[in-house]
Chains A and B, each alone.
Chain A
Amino acid sequence: MTNGAPRSSPGPAAASSGLTAPATLDRKVVAGAVVLALAGAVAPVLPAYPLTLLTQAVIVAVLAMSLDVLLGYTGLPSLGHAAYFGIAAYTVGILATERQTGLAGCLVAALLLATATAAVFGFLAIRATGTYFLMITLALGMVVWGLAFRWVSMTKGDNGIAGVPRPELGLPWSLAAPLPFFYFALLAAALAWAAMGVLVRSPFGLGLKGIRESESRMRALGYNVWLHKYLAFVISGFFAAFAGVLWAYYNGFVGPVDVQLVTSVETLLMVALGGPGTLAGPALGAAAIVFLKNFVSVYTKRWLLILGAVYIGVILFAPRGVLGAFSREPHSAR
């Protein structure tokens, strides 16, 4: 990842000051690794319920980061991101229950199907900008929700697909137990995080940031802006699908709730809460929302009221997100 950059580059060009300050990036990467290691270390001593929530947070964090690639880095607010997450989850659910397909088969099929859907939807959506993009992705997301809800012979409709078995990996530990599955999810999420981290720091990722800031300038410089946005859309769908696979195994159940509008919007909230364009922020935002939803619902039935207030509070008081409010500003001192 980024920490190798300054050392491996020979010339004076590699002097680090101009890049997004690799020093702080290094710190971010280290901090992220520490958080992951801590999560891994405390997991064995956690009681069952918090461990379940932690697993959930880790998986949803991947979904939030995948949306961040699109929203935070490229500036495209998708309102239909649950579609790719849900298609992958349904694929796993159906294959694992009806065909007893193993992990590899489920993973490949789910990623292929969901990414292909993103490729088609992206084709329809990328032409639009601003609010129209929002509306089109909302509508496309509803196409998928409609299928999940009504295509009963395939999806079991409102009842959803229950009893999705955890995969057997031929390891001494069964993933059916909470702790091994947590480590499985943590490892998968860490891989996804690393892959997305490299992506947003790559030349391609810099291009995405450029598009977020000024499309007309990017065109004038010689970028095919459409292609960049389209690729970001499909890649973002791919990682959302990855989260969807984990989710199906984690939850053991896949239903229309996984693809509905509110799920897409909740993912947007996680990104907004954590700070768009930071990856780590949306991951933390995801964890915060997962814990909030579950803890509040333990103490009160009025958790929707509280969640709604959180939406409004985040927008009014932390419009750039919690991490976003701090990031970048140190540069001004230079």
Chain B
Amino acid sequence: MSAEFWITQAFNGISYGALLFLLASGLSLIFGVMRIVNLAHGSYFMLGGYVGLSVVWRTGSFLAALVAGAVAIALIGIGMERLFLRRLPGQTLGQVLMTVGFALMFQDVALLVWGGDPYTIPVPAALQGIVTAGTLRFPAYRIFIIVVAVLIGVGLWVVLDRTRVGAMIRAAVDDREMAQGVGIRVPVVSLGVFALGAALAALGGVIGGGFLGVYPGADFEVLPYAFVVVIVGGLGSLPGAMVGSLLVGLLDNFGKALFPELSYFTLFAPMALILALRPTGLFGRA
């Protein structure tokens, strides 16, 4: 196999990993702060894509689609957390079942509103081109995804590492009771993190809608990927989400290219192995 094959596949893997990062960083933060296994996280991705689609149809603006998708889904996230999940503190199983209930309802609502046909979100002309480097050709849109993910990753890192709000979030991740004890309003932090996570997933949905498309079933298709990222990287860890996203993006791409029949296996089996060796993931703490 040529060097070109490896470079192209690696690039595709990295850009897919970048998209996964948008999805998984939120899931990881939500888990870190609230210990909630949110099975509706894939729904945020899908609904974000659909909202973005409608906004692009109305306004023609991709930027407006990004903003509207993120805001709308953040509001849904806030509603879910505030009205429902908050009633189930510490009930892992109850949270799982409840988030699945929401996922099913979202799936049906999406079908009702947008129908069963797949759509692609039209992207701005500036992002449609191909960037060539020697004999290698890279789609500009995939480069855009990587840039967005890097910007968001850096942004999250700065917020978490350098600001007061970030310190509060980290305190809540480390030890909820302790954080509460020192006067941090953990319920507010939780709500904020939940909204942020939902918004990031929706952002991923709009951006992903530009090259994967928006379609029924996208929710439960991306959900396993997000979980693998979070499990591999370690729950509640931002660096973990970064490394995990890249790893999963690459594993998935090479797996599909090299062993198409075993492609999910090549993704999930290494994860199971990592878990067996480090049950808390690469960067996670017990």
**Chain A residues engaging chain B, CB cutoff 8 angstroms:** 71, 77, 79, 123-124, 127-128, 130-132, 134-136, 138-140, 142-143, 145-147, 149-153, 260-262, 265, 268-269, 272, 302, 304-305, 307-312, 314-316, 319
Say whether B35 contacts A131, CB under 8 Å. Answer: yes
Residues of A near B227 (CB, < 8 A) are 135, 138-139, 142
Say whether B271 contacts A310, CB under 8 Å. Answer: no
Indicate whether B114 reaches chain A with its CB closer than 8 angstroms: no
Chain A contact residues: over half helix, strand or loop, or mixed? helix
Indicate whether B268 reaches chain A with its CB closer than 8 angstroms: yes
- Known contacts A272-B93, A311-B98; decide if A132 and B279 are in contact (CB<8 Å): yes
Residues of B near A153 (CB, < 8 A) are 261
Residues of B near A308 (CB, < 8 A) are 100-108
Cα A150 to Cα B262 in complex, Å, equals 6
Interface flags for B153-186 (1: CB within 8 Å of A; 0: not) read 0000000000000000000000000000000000
Cα A245 to Cα B14 in complex, Å, equals 42
| Subset of 23 A-B contacts with CB under 8 Å | A71-B93, A77-B93, A77-B96, A127-B276, A128-B279, A131-B37, A131-B92, A134-B93, A139-B272, A139-B275, A140-B268, A142-B228, A142-B268, A145-B224, A260-B220, A272-B97, A304-B104, A304-B107, A309-B105, A312-B101, A312-B102, A314-B97, A319-B91
Indicate whether B87 reaches chain A with its CB closer than 8 angstroms: yes
Residues of A near B267 (CB, < 8 A) are 146
Closest-by-CB residue of A relative to B223 is A261
Closest-by-CB residue of B relative to A149 is B264
Say whether B268 contacts A130, CB under 8 Å. Answer: no
**Contact pick for A315, options B98, B105, B265, CB 8 Å:** B98
Indicate whether B84 reaches chain A with its CB closer than 8 angstroms: yes
Residues of A near B280 (CB, < 8 A) are 132
Residues of B near A140 (CB, < 8 A) are 268, 272
Say whether B224 contacts A315, CB under 8 Å. Answer: no
Residues of B near A143 (CB, < 8 A) are 264-265, 268-269, 272
Residues of B near A261 (CB, < 8 A) are 39, 220, 223-224
Nearest-Cβ distance from residue B8 to partner chain A, whole angstroms: 22
**Contact pick for A150, options B31, B37, B230, B261, CB 8 Å:** B261
Say whether B262 contacts A268, CB under 8 Å. Answer: no
Indicate whether B260 reaches chain A with its CB closer than 8 angstroms: yes
Say whether A305 contacts B37, CB under 8 Å. Answer: no
- Known contacts A77-B96, A146-B263, A268-B93; decide if A311 and B276 are in contact (CB<8 Å): no
- Known contacts A139-B271, A272-B97, A304-B104; decide if A265 and B39 are in contact (CB<8 Å): yes
Residues of B near A71 (CB, < 8 A) are 93
Residues of B near A127 (CB, < 8 A) are 276, 279
Chain B contact residues: over half helix, strand or loop, or mixed? helix
Residues of B near A149 (CB, < 8 A) are 264
Closest 6 CB pairs between A and B? A146-B264, A311-B101, A308-B105, A308-B104, A304-B108, A143-B268
Residues of B near A131 (CB, < 8 A) are 31, 35, 37, 92, 235
- Known contacts A269-B97, A311-B100; decide if A134 and B264 are in contact (CB<8 Å): no
Cα A147 to Cα B264 in complex, Å, equals 7
Say whether A147 contacts B100, CB under 8 Å. Answer: no
Indicate whether B88 reaches chain A with its CB closer than 8 angstroms: yes
Closest-by-CB residue of B relative to A271 is B93
Interface flags for B240-252 (1: CB within 8 Å of A; 0: not) read 0000000000000
Nearest-Cβ distance from residue A263 to partner chain B, whole angstroms: 11
- Known contacts A147-B265, A153-B261; decide if A268 and B108 are in contact (CB<8 Å): no
Indicate whether B147 reaches chain A with its CB closer than 8 angstroms: no
Residues of B near A150 (CB, < 8 A) are 260-265
Say whether A316 contacts B87, CB under 8 Å. Answer: yes
Nearest-Cβ distance from residue A133 to partner chain B, whole angstroms: 9
Residues of A near B97 (CB, < 8 A) are 265, 268-269, 272, 311, 314-315
Indicate whether B112 reaches chain A with its CB closer than 8 angstroms: yes
Residues of B near A265 (CB, < 8 A) are 39, 96-97, 100
Residues of B near A136 (CB, < 8 A) are 231, 272, 275, 279
- Known contacts A136-B275, A304-B107; decide if A310 and B101 are in contact (CB<8 Å): yes
Closest-by-CB residue of A relative to B273 is A124
- Known contacts A138-B227, A142-B268, A149-B264; decide if A307 and B104 are in contact (CB<8 Å): yes
Interface flags for B61-91 (1: CB within 8 Å of A; 0: not) read 0000000000000000000000010011001
Cα A102 to Cα B272 in complex, Å, equals 34
Closest-by-CB residue of B relative to A136 is B275
Cα A302 to Cα B35 in complex, Å, equals 31
Say whether B265 contacts A146, CB under 8 Å. Answer: yes
Nearest-Cβ distance from residue A160 to partner chain B, whole angstroms: 16
Cα A262 to Cα B39 in complex, Å, equals 10
Cα A260 to Cα B217 in complex, Å, equals 13
Closest-by-CB residue of A relative to B266 is A146
**Contact pick for B109, options A145, A272, A305, CB 8 Å:** A305
Residues of B near A135 (CB, < 8 A) are 37, 227, 230-231, 235
Indicate whether B94 reaches chain A with its CB closer than 8 angstroms: yes
